[in-house]
Structure 1
Amino acid sequence: MFIISLTYKTSLENVERFIPEHNDFLDQHYTAGNFIASGRKEPRTGGIILANAVSKNEVEEIIRKDPFYIHQVADYEIIEFIPSKYNEHFNFFIKNS
């Protein structure tokens, strides 16, 4: 499992221009089963995506297709973690990791 931390590197006005495309990107990866949860940071300096992927390389490939990445709106930090405790409702994601 991976935490993808996005940090905006441009104005919020510029970020807003790409939100519809970014949301389409997110929807595509929710449908594919790659993303579990996502949302913006508070204060609004970026966002977080919780991803279920086989490898960091797979996550990097996915990110390269994000409009925020393509248009250089955000920097990305990828943190891999191995869940050792989790809510039973997340069992599906953990067992398929």
Structure 2
Amino acid sequence: MFIVFLRFSARRDQAGQLMQAHKEWLARGFDDGVFLLAGSLQPQAGGVILASGVTLAQLEERLSSDPFVVEDVVQTEIVAMTPSKADPRLQFLLMGS
């Protein structure tokens, strides 16, 4: 499982014109079953994605096609984690570990 941080770069002013393409890219990640959760970093610092079911190389390849990454609107940071304990409502997250 991976936590992906998408932190705005100096080109964050370009985010508005790329937002629709970024949202479509996110939707593909959810449709493919790779993205489990996505949201904004506060205060307006970028975004975060919880990803599962892929290798690091596959995730890096997927991230490289994000319009925000392509246009250097965000810089990515990937943190790998192996979940070992979860609230009962999130037990499904432990299945792959």
When the two structures are superposed, what TM-score results if normalisation uses the length of structure 2?
0.90
Identity rate of aligned residues, in percent? 30
Structure 1 unmatched ranges of 5 or more: none
Letter in 1 for 2:42: E
State the distance in 2 between where 1:11 and 1:66 align: 15
Q: 1:13-24 counterparts in 2 under 5 A?
A: 13-24=13-24
Alignment length (residue pairs): 97
Letter in 2 for 1:67: P
CA positional deviation for 1:30: 0.2
Distance verdict in 2 for CA 1:93–1:32, change over 3 Å: farther
The residue that corresponds to 2:73 in the other structure is: 73
CA positional deviation for 1:55: 1.6
Q: In the alignment, is residue 63 of structure 1 matched against residue 63 of structure 2?
A: yes
Distance verdict in 2 for CA 1:96–1:84, change over 3 Å: closer
When the two structures are superposed, what TM-score results if normalisation uses the length of structure 1?
0.90
CA positional deviation for 1:54: 2.9
Structure 2 unmatched ranges of 5 or more: none
Distance verdict in 2 for CA 1:29–1:48, change over 3 Å: same
